[in-house]
Structure 1
Amino acid sequence: MPQQHNFIIGQRLELVLGRLNPSAPSGTYTIVRLLPNDDGDREYRIKHDRDGHERVVRESQLRRVATPLI
């Protein structure tokens, strides 16, 4: 049985740059789709907030956006 996604559509996250996506632009991304996946690392379609480019990434490549203290 597939595991539940830990993030939701519309949530803003940061992409952790690494060997799977070394040329991806830094910044925030918004989740636009939860993808079905039988593997342990769930997948998402995300959209870059500035340039609008979409890509598919694994959950382990995402981290929550730090919210500044006011």
Structure 2
Amino acid sequence: MTHKFIIGQIVNLTPTVLRSTAIGPYEIRHLVPAPDGDPTDPRYRIKSVAEKHERIAPESELTLSAGVFA
């Protein structure tokens, strides 16, 4: 399956009970292949300006942001 987002796009990460996330937009940094267990849900490496580290998130937990990454 191909990736829905491209490097540089700004997305929102859906929060989950198991993961605390910074509020605000994230920038797509790298495209990561989908795992063998779920080949229909590719992964992305994303970065928030509010965090020092990057995260890996599945496409199913990302939505296109209308905001601007600052």
Alpha carbon RMSD of aligned pairs, Å? 1.5
The TM-score with structure 1 as length reference comes to 0.79
Q: 1:31 to 1:20 in 2, by over 3 A?
A: farther
Bigger relative contact order (CA 8 A; separation at least 6) = 2
SS in 2 for 1:50: coil
Code of the residue aligned with 2:8 in structure 1: it is G
Long gaps (5+) in structure 2: none
Alignment of 1:17-32 (within 5 A): 17-21=15-19, 23-32=20-29
Runs of 4+ in 1 over 4 A off after TM superposition: none
Sequence identity (%): 42
Q: 1:46 to 1:52 in 2, by over 3 A?
A: same
Q: Does 1:16 align with 2:20?
A: no
Code of the residue aligned with 1:30 in structure 2: it is E
Once residues 52 and 12 of structure 1 are traced to their aligned partners in structure 2, the CA distance between those partners, rounded to angstroms, is: 17
Aligned residue-pair number: 64
Alignment of 1:35-50 (within 5 A): 35-37=32-34, 38=36, 39-50=39-50
Long gaps (5+) in structure 1: none
